[in-house]
Amino acid sequence: MTTLTTPSPPVPLARAGAPPVPRRWDPRLYQIATLAGLLTYGVLGLGFDIAPGTVAVILACAVGAQLAAAHLAGGRFDPRSALISGLSLCLLLRTGALELAALTAVVAVASKFLVRLRGKHVFNPTNGALVLMLLITDRVWVSPGQWGSAAVFAFFLAAAGGLVVNRAARADVTWTFLAAHTALVLGRAVWLGDPLDIPLHRLGSGALVLFAFFMISDPRTTPDSRAGRVVFAIMVAAGAYVVQFRLFQTNPLLWSLAACSLAVPLIDRLLPGRRYDWTAPGTGAAVKRSPS
């Protein structure tokens, strides 16, 4: 006797505004692996000026601060976010004082617990800590030239970063920022009649790619909605242009991101979207308001 079975219905496609679908792998694991690979290549292949002892201190202080903060807040200890902040500092932070490296790591992690608005981080932890240390001491610096401008390595960074941001559903802010930043830099060169080698050299920086794919794309500090992230990315690109070419300051991307992050709560209010969840991320479809 033949038994008839009813075929399973197809899985419906996600609709705009529908709850995000849970996934098996946490995208932070991919980000940790990518940042660790970049750091290893930088130290062994590019001769980054950072001692293994400094790397160990930064990572230990970041994870230790996360453990202490989680205990004080009564929450669950999760080292993944702390490792991302620590590895990012290893790639960007340069100082001859080990105690300042340790302090920067602690500040980065502590800011996630202390500087919040409506349960959301205000500053990207790495960016906020670097900007604060640049403000209070001249013994800390960021060296954007350490990456070089080789096209092959920049492409590798972009490919690795693309994997991370796409899994984190935040590719829109990265590509919008890169498009706006490129347009501003190239447009200025054309306006001034500069040879294209000058803007192309700036755009070929590995530090720029690292910023675009691993810092501005932080899902916990970018606006919740896609429209908000597009606005935010353009603001950061424009702010960096002003800092670099009008105020003539170094590290324009860091300063611009820190300043524009203060506007994220307002952007979220004007262009609301669903809050990001690492376990079930979405693109931040606009939240439908019930009629009052």
Q: Is residue 35 predicted with pLDDT exceeding 70?
A: yes
Over 70: is that where the pLDDT of 257 sits?
yes
Pair 127, 156 in one domain:
no
Structural domain containing residue 182: 149-270
Mean pLDDT of the chain: 83
Torsion angles phi and psi, residue 141, rounded to 5: -150, 165
Asked if residue 187 belongs to a domain, the reply is yes
Whether the per-residue pLDDT at 273 is higher than 80: the answer is yes
Give the total number of structural domains in the chain: 2
**69, 177: one domain:** no
Which of 18-27, 62-71, 109-118 shows the lowest mean pLDDT across its residues? 18-27
204 and 153 in a single domain? The answer is: yes
Q: Residue 291 corresponds to which amino acid?
A: P
**Does the pLDDT value for residue 157 go beyond 80?**
no
Q: What is the mean pLDDT of residues 128-136?
A: 96
Q: Indicate whether 31 and 134 sit together in one domain.
A: yes
Please tell me whether residues 216 and 256 are part of one structural domain.
yes
280 — pLDDT class (breaks 50, 70, 90): low
Residue 9 has pLDDT above 50, yes or no: no
Task: Specify the pTM.
Answer: 0.83
118 in the same domain as 53: yes
The reply to whether 176 and 261 lie within a common domain is yes
Residue 109 burial by Cβ neighbours in a 10 Å radius (0-12, 13-18, 19+): buried
Quick one: 129 and 197 in the same domain? no
Q: Which of 111, 142, 173 is at the close of a domain?
A: 142
